[in-house]
Amino acid sequence: MVKEILIYPNKFLRTKTQEVEQLNSEILQLALDLIDTMRYYDGLGISANQIGKIYRLCAIDLDAVKEGKGFLVLANPTIVYKEGIEIDEEGCLSFPELYVKIQRASFIIVRAKKLNLKTRTFEDFEIQAKGLLARAIQHEIDHLNGILIIDYISPEKRAIIMKDWMDKIKTKQITYEQASVKEK
């Protein structure tokens, strides 16, 4: 089911999420809701705290990051290795129409529990990622830790960018919220 995405400055976006202990019906439904919501809003990825849930769970659209088909749903992802530097522009579903240049590792190795959507089970999982997939995974892990894209901007520059963004989004956010309500 499509859920409403929390928009900055919602304080829940700063919440550090809790480990997923086991796969149960609540976690499975949350994973499906993340996928539905991400697809509806054309996101590359989404984390549970972006829809008001406290769990350390995120989803990546593999088609959107050009790394295959389907969705990658990760519980308790941890970066165990990273190297290289890549600077690129990022957007975020919780900051509609805001794009920020962010420095990220160009290559990462991540361990997690991967949700197998066919068997509806968790599997131990390790992935080596580069390019857009690596960027998307790092972005979602940041969310799970309560870190936002604006945290990569100097305080002085952040104040200017956020004022401009808030002015720009004021009228559009009403439309965004109305669209969310209509779909429910």
- Decide if 150 contacts 161 (C-beta within 8 A): yes
Calculate mean pLDDT across residues 62-82: 94
DSSP 33-76: HHHHHHHHTT-SEEEGGGGT--BSEEEEETTTTTSSSSEEEEEE
Active site residue 140: yes
Q: Residue 145 gets which letter from DSSP?
A: T
Q: Structural domains in the chain?
A: 11-183 (3.90.45.10)
On the question of pLDDT at 88 being above 50, the answer is: yes
Q: pLDDT band for 146, please (50, 70, 90 cuts).
A: very high
Q: How far is CA 137 from CA 44, 72, 140, in A?
A: 10, 10, 5
Please tell me the total number of residues recorded for the chain in this structure: 184
On the question of pLDDT at 182 being above 60, the answer is: no
Question: pTM for the full model?
Answer: 0.91
Annotated catalytic residue, options 26, 89, 90, 140: 140
What is the pLDDT at residue 176?
52
User: pLDDT tens digit string along 14-31?
Assistant: 999 999 999 999 999 999
Determine the Cα–Cα distance for residues 118 and 102; give it in Å rounded to an integer. Answer: 35
Determine the Cα–Cα distance for residues 111 and 114; give it in Å rounded to an integer. Answer: 9
What is the pLDDT at residue 169?
82
On the question of pLDDT at 171 being above 80, the answer is: no
Classified as helix, coil or strand, 131 is: helix
On the question of pLDDT at 172 being above 80, the answer is: no
